[in-house]
Structures are given as C-alpha cells and as structure tokens.
Amino acid sequence: MNLKTFLLGTCSAVVIAGLAQAETLTIATVNNGDMVRMQTLTDDFTKANPDIQLEWVTLEENVLRERVTTDIATKGGQYDVLTIGTYEVPIWAKQGWLLPLDNLGADYDVDDLLPAIRSGLTMDNKLYAAPFYGESSMVMYRKDLMEKAGLTMPDAPTWEFIGDAARKMTDRAAGINGICLRGKAGWGENMAFLTATSNAFGARWFDENWKPQFDQPEWKNTLDMYVKLMNDAGPQGASSNGFNENLALFQQGKCGMWIDATVAASFVTNPKDSTVADKVGFALAPDTGLGKRGNWLWAWSLGVPAGTQKAEAAQKFVSWATSKHYADLVAEKEGWANVPPGTRSSLYANPEYQKAAPFAKMTLESINAADPTKPTVKPVPYVGVQFVAIPEFQGLGTTVGQLFSAALAGQMTVDDALAQAQQVTTREMTRGGYIK
Amino acid sequence: MARAVSTRRTAVFTIAAWIIALVIFFPILYTIITSFKSETEAIQGFNLIPSGTVESYVAVQSQSNYFKPFMNSVILSVGSTILALLIAVPSAWSMAFSPTNKTKDILMWMLSTKMMPAVAVLVPIYLLFRDFGLLDSRIGLTAMLTMINLPIVIWMLYTYFREIPGEILEAARMDGASLWGEIIYVLTPMAVPGIASTMLLNIILAWNEAFWTIRLTTTDAAPLTAFIASFSSPQGLFWAKLSAASTLAIAPILIMGWFSQKQLVRGLTFGAVK
C-alpha cells in the first residue's frame, strides 16, 4: 500500500464517519409539565431516527423568549426547534424568522388540528408552527362549596352569576376565598386574563384606527367589576398572584372558583397534588350577554427557525412531537389524562380520553368559542384574544398590567389606572407609527 | 463592674450578629429545607420541617445531567479567575507603585464600565460572539467573565498593593531584583491574603453570574445558572425541584466559602485597621 492509497483510504473513512455521524438538534423549550414529559419519551423518536440526536435547552418563559428573539434576529443559528406561543408565531412568520412547515409527512393529518388553534399558527395558508398543546380558559369551581352556597353553576355562566356566587362562597374565617384570579403584573399574567375578560364586556385595546380605548366605558366596567370582586371575595395579596400561585391556592382548597387556563384542569383533578381533586366542576368562561365570552386561546407550539442548517431533521422532530402517534405514546406510558390537550379533534373524539379527562368537553368548547380574528364585540385591527399580535404588545401589556395590578392593590384608583393606561398606550402607538 | 458591662455588651453583639446572620442566611436555608419536601408539601405554605424525601433530587438528576453544568461552572469560574489575576496583578502593581496623574481617571473609568446595564450591550456582544464562533463555547464565556470582573479585581488588588510600603520594593530593586522578580518574589508573597480573597470573591462572582452565562450558552458551555433556570416554570408547580436544583448549584460554592472564610475575612479587612 503506497502513501497515496493510504491517504485516500483515510480520507474516505473520515468522510464516511462524518456522514454516519448523528445530526444533533438543539431544541429550546419551557419547563411546563407536558414539555418535561416529552423529554422523557424521546427514545421513541431517536430509535426511529438513529441519525438524529436531541439536545434540550430549557429556560423560563420570558428568558427563553428573549434568548430566542436575540438568536433569530441576529441569525445566531443556535436552535433548530423552538417552543413558541401563539403570540409570536404571526409576528415572527411575517418577519421571515420561521420556516413554513411543509414537510411534516404524509400521515401527519394536518386537517385534524383544531381549526381555532391552527388558524392562529397559519399565515397565507402556510402552517408556521405545529401545536404541542393548546389551551383556552374556563371556570374551575368547587362543587361542594357551590352546593353549600345554595347555587348551581350553569354550563355557560354570566359575570353577574360569578360575582354573586363568589361573594356567597367566601368564608374568610375558614380561609376560603370565593374567587381566585390573576393579579400579578405581566402581559402574559394579569393582562391575559383581563384582556380576555374585557372582550366579554365589549372592550377592546384599539379601535379600527389603532386609537387606544382605555378611556371608553367598557374598560371601566371591566376593571371596576374585577377590582370590586377581588376586594370582596379574592385572596389577600392577590396583586402578586399569577397562574402558579392561584394553582397552589386552589389545590389547597382555598378558592371557591378559579378562572384560568384549561390546562390547569388536569392539575386540580390530580389526587396526587390536589386536596380537592374529586370536588372540581367546570364551566365556560363567563359573559355579559354581549355575545363574547372571556376565554382566551393559546398554544405552545414547535417552530423551526429560518437560520437552522437542519431543517429537514427539525421538521421530522416537530412532526413526531405533535402527531397522533405521540398522543398514543403518552396514553400508553402515562395514561390518557396526560396526553397534551387542545390540539387535535381526534383526541376529543376518543372515548378513552373522554373517560379519563372529565374536563375534555369543556376544554374543547372553550377552545372552539375563542376567535382570535374577531376577539371582541366591536371590530378590531389586530389578531389575538388575550393579546394584540404586534411586537409592541409585550412592553405595552406589561406596563398596563402594572397599572391594573396597582389598582387591585389599592395603590391607585381604577380611573387613574385607566387614564394612565390610555396615556402610555397612545404615546407608544404614536411612537410606533400606528397613529399618524 | 466594667468587666460585667463588657461581657454583657459582647453577649448582645453576639446575639445581634447571630440574628443578622440567620436573617441573611434564611432564604438559602429555606431553599434547602424545601428541596427535601414533596411538591405538595412545598406549596402548603410556610413549614420548617420537611418530610425528608429526596424525590426532587432524583427527579432533577433524571431530568438533566448535573455533572456537565457543574464542570462548566468550575472551568468558567476558575479559568476566568486565573485569567483575570494574570491581567490584574501587573495592572494593579503599575497603578499602585508607578502612578501617573491619569491613574485615578483610569481606575474610575474601569469602575464605570460596571455601572452600564448589561442588557444594553447584549446584541453587539451576541453578534461578536456569533462572528467569532464563540457562542456556547467555554473559551468565549471565560473571556466574557474575565472582562466583567476585571474592574473589581483590579480595584481590590490596587487597594491591597497600596498598603504595601514602597520602600520594601525599592530595597528589592537595590538588591538587584528584576521587575518580574520584584512582582513574583517580593510583592506577591506580601499580598497573598489580598490576592487570595480577590481570587475567592472572583470565583464566587463568576459562579453566580447569570445574565451572560444564560444568554451566551445553549448546551455545551451552559453552567449551573442555566441548570437552575431550566427548572423555573410559568405553568406548573415545581418548587421542590427548583429548590433541589438551586441547592445542588449553590452547594459547591457554599462549601468553598465556608472553608475559606478565614482567608476571605482576612483579605477583605486587609489594611482596614492600621
């Protein structure tokens, strides 16, 4: 063997080894229960795709959002699959930051995705992210306390009924608050709840010309009702309570009602974590008779950034994680109640799921009742039920959320909070070029 | 009589010191206690007696590998400290023993870089890291941590070196010591307590740095700060697991701080009492 043959052989071996080497996908995600479960089940994917390895980057939601935004905007190419929410998808797709998911495989059955969820992730008839789990909001209530108060929860309650029931259920001496609602400031915390609730009162963030609407009576009615109700029947220090704090209170039996994400239904009915697991009932988010319910729409979805070099493998993974096969896998390993909810019609048609998840019907009805393109009574120039899908909303929503949280804490009046919200929003929208 | 008053005063100061120390340490203590609770116990309000379960530690270890971020933390904090000292010792020496009329300005300028909010330079730094291929690399992050802590290291060493009489160095020079000989054989041994405490403080600062370590890494160079961040959840109660992850992350630096507290205190009070 001469030197030339030896070198040629070595080079070929290196090339073959390189080709055979597994491709590693870096997946950015949040530490929510369903995501954590997915990480434990990925053997199923890597067995079927031995040439693909998975690396996870798990971060707190806001840090993840900031990191992924920085990486995409600077084309850093650090991630191959992103976990993103319904808020980001239309904005990022418009910027050309996400690849359209047009290679999800023949058996993916994209038409099985719930129309409301799918429409929020689609632009120009192209799907830009595949939903991993979807949620709306609904009323979770204690059946025993409702009965004790001499009331019966209708399937579709009004805010008047909720207010009355909350006050009757409140027993501060026994540590029971009639209602627990989000108060912690943040566009994804109190403003998700209040924006969705304001839709039921006919309020809107902006009119058709992007003029802020906090000076209108609909917003005053919303905020007045919220602050009064929370003062009469809410827990102490409610202005610092977000999803997790209210979940803890409800699981400990300290809330008569809780209006929040449908995904919480599986937590509050799980006897391992909840002391009231067998006493929980569900109802649609309340309305005021104006034709819109205050229920939101959100999906944690998987998208592929435009900067990735591994688009094909990334889509393969997205397809696996959001497929019917994955739902079957979770059902087999962890039971039907733990299957990620709110994404596929077939799941809700499955009798085994219906049996295991008593909240299934209400979750589906809540998701179907939300319309991101027509979120409120009057017409709006934006998309989004509990948010406004414009880049400025993160900052604006949090600033307004701080004002409303201060109103709940009694640090300012409702009128002052609304006046300041109007002022800040008008300034930012003018600066952003929306108001000419 | 005077002795009784003095004893009483000592006792009062001791008790006050213990109370203050306990108040400062309490959040860490409660984190450790919570890590030995189940998730259900963790959310059931204030309770100082845990059930003693280690399920959160098991869950944390099975969910993510502790060893890799731990090793990254060690490499980054020790590496950046060595690099910072290599740059800072000569810098502080020159400013302490050969000051010019601009030395104070330079020192103030260096300190002023610490006053700038890190987020203001996030995008330029990110672009630099991207262009030099340093994203998610230990080399890049070591350099970053070095630069972040360099002003503090130089300031501390400058303060310690200023306490050393210049006459000793002059004597060494008269005995024929070279510049490096003067720094290595005369100055450094005299400044060991100061250098040691600077080193320890820098390791602690680098170990705890969270802004850049989370933002410039993904998987390969991610240290324990990223490990803790991965257990924070907006939708789900994982307080016990988060506490277990935090305990695992702070334990090494806590143990190191405990064993080196004498050196730390000696160094930090170096030159304070004449």
pLDDT tens-digit readout, B184-197: 888 888 888 888 88
pLDDT at B177: 86
pLDDT digits (tens, 9 = 90+) for B256-272: 888 888 777 776 665 55
Asked if B78 and B141 touch (Cβ cutoff 8 Å), the reply is: no
Is pLDDT larger for residue A14 or for residue A55? A55
Q: Which residues of chain A make contact with B221, given a CB cutoff of 8 A?
A: none
**pLDDT for A119-131, tens place per residue?**
889 989 999 999 9
What residues of chain A, 51 to 80, have a C-beta less than 8 Å from chain B?
55-61, 63, 66-67, 70-71, 73-79
Given this model, what pLDDT does residue B184 score? 83
Q: Which of A62-76, A207-221, A250-264, B97-111 has the lowest mean pLDDT?
A: A62-76
Q: Is the pLDDT of residue A19 over 50?
A: no
A295/B contact by beta carbon, under 8 A: no
Does B179 have pLDDT greater than 60?
yes
Q: Which residue of A has its CA nearest to B62?
A: A40
Residues of chain B neighbouring A55 (CB-CB closer than 8 A): 218-219
Q: Tens digit of pLDDT for each residue in A399-423? A: 999 999 999 999 999 999 999 999 9
| pLDDT tens profile B114-167 | 888 888 898 899 999 999 999 999 999 999 999 999 999 999 999 888 888 888
Q: Are B219 and B141 in contact (CB under 8 A)?
A: no
CA distance A248 to B237: 8
Tell me the chain B residues in contact with residue A253 when contact means C-beta distances shorter than 8 Å. none
Residue numbers in A near B68 (CB within 8 A): none
pTM: 0.81
**Cβ burial B216-255 (10 Å sphere, 16+ → b, else e):** bbbbebbbbbbbbbbbbbbbbbbbbbbbbbbbbbbeebee
Q: What is the mean pLDDT of residues A155-179?
A: 96
Contacts of A255 in chain B (CB under 8 A): none
- Across the interface, whether the CB atoms of B123 and A60 are under 8 A apart is answered no
Average pLDDT, chain A: 91
Mean pLDDT, residues B29-52 taken together: 88
pLDDT of residue A202: 96
Q: How far, in Å, CA of B195 to CA of A372, rounded?
A: 61
Contact A32 B233 (CB under 8 A): yes
The pLDDT-based confidence of A21 (bands split at 50, 70, 90) is low
| Alpha carbon of B79: minimum distance to chain A alpha carbons (Å) | 24
ipTM confidence score = 0.74
Instruction: Give per-residue pLDDT as tens, A176-196.
Output: 999 999 999 999 899 999 999
Which tokens go with B95? Answer: 């400013």
| pLDDT reported for residue A233 | 97
Right CATH for A3-135+297-356 from 3.40.50.620, 3.40.50.920, 3.40.190.10, 3.40.50.720? 3.40.190.10
Q: Does A39 lie at the interface with B, CB-CB under 8 angstroms?
A: yes
pLDDT tens digit string along A125-156?
999 999 999 999 999 999 999 999 999 999 99
Q: Would you call B26 helix, strand, or coil by DSSP?
A: helix
Nearest CA in chain B to A28: B218
Give residue A18's pLDDT.
Answer: 46
pLDDT at B8 over 70: yes
pLDDT the model gives residue A187: 92
Contact between chains at B237 and A243 (C-beta distance less than 8 A) = no
Torsion of CA B58, B59, B64, B66, to 10 degrees: -30
In the predicted model, is pLDDT for residue B274 greater than 50?
no
Residues A22-41 have pLDDT tens digits of 799 999 998 888 888 899 89
Q: What pLDDT does A100 receive?
A: 96
Identify which has the larger pLDDT, A52 or B165: A52
Res B2: pLDDT: 60
Residue B238 pLDDT greater than 90, yes or no: no
Residues of chain A contacting B237 with CB distance shorter than 8 Å? 244, 247-248, 251, 267, 273
Q: What confidence score (pLDDT) does residue B271 get? A: 54
pLDDT at A59: 84
Question: A114, A351 in Cβ contact below 8 A?
Answer: no
| Confidence band, pLDDT 50/70/90 cuts, at residue A15 | very low
**What are the boundaries of each domain within chain A?**
3-135+297-356, 136-296+381-431
B234 and A60 within 8 Å at the Cβ level: the answer is yes
Class (C level, CATH) for A136-296+381-431: alpha beta
Tens-place pLDDT, residues B206-236: 999 999 999 999 889 999 999 988 888 766 7
What is the C-alpha to C-alpha distance for residues B124 and A336, in angstroms, rounded to an integer? 48
Q: Between B127, B135, B231, which is nearest A78 by CB?
A: B135
CA distance A66 to A82: 12
What is the domain partition of chain B in residue ranges? 66-230
The more confidently predicted of residues B265 and A388 is A388
Contact A74 B214 (CB under 8 A): no
Residue of B56, B235, B238 best to disrupt the A interface, most CBs of A under 10 A: B235
Q: Which residue has the higher pLDDT, B45 or A270?
A: A270
Q: If you search the block for the tokens 């889509």, which residue do you land on?
A: A315
pLDDT at A13 over 60: no
In the prediction, which pLDDT does B250 show? 92
Rounded to the nearest 10°, the torsion over CA A361, A366, A372, A373 is: 80
Least confident of A111-115, A169-173, B170-174, B232-236: B232-236
Chain A CB contacts of B64 below 8 Å: 56, 58
Q: What is the mean pLDDT of residues A239-250?
A: 91
Q: What percent of chain A shows pLDDT beyond 70?
A: 95
Rg of chain A (C-alpha set): 24
For the cut 70, the answer to whether the pLDDT of residue A2 exceeds it is no
Tell me which CATH code domain B66-230 carries: 1.10.3720.10
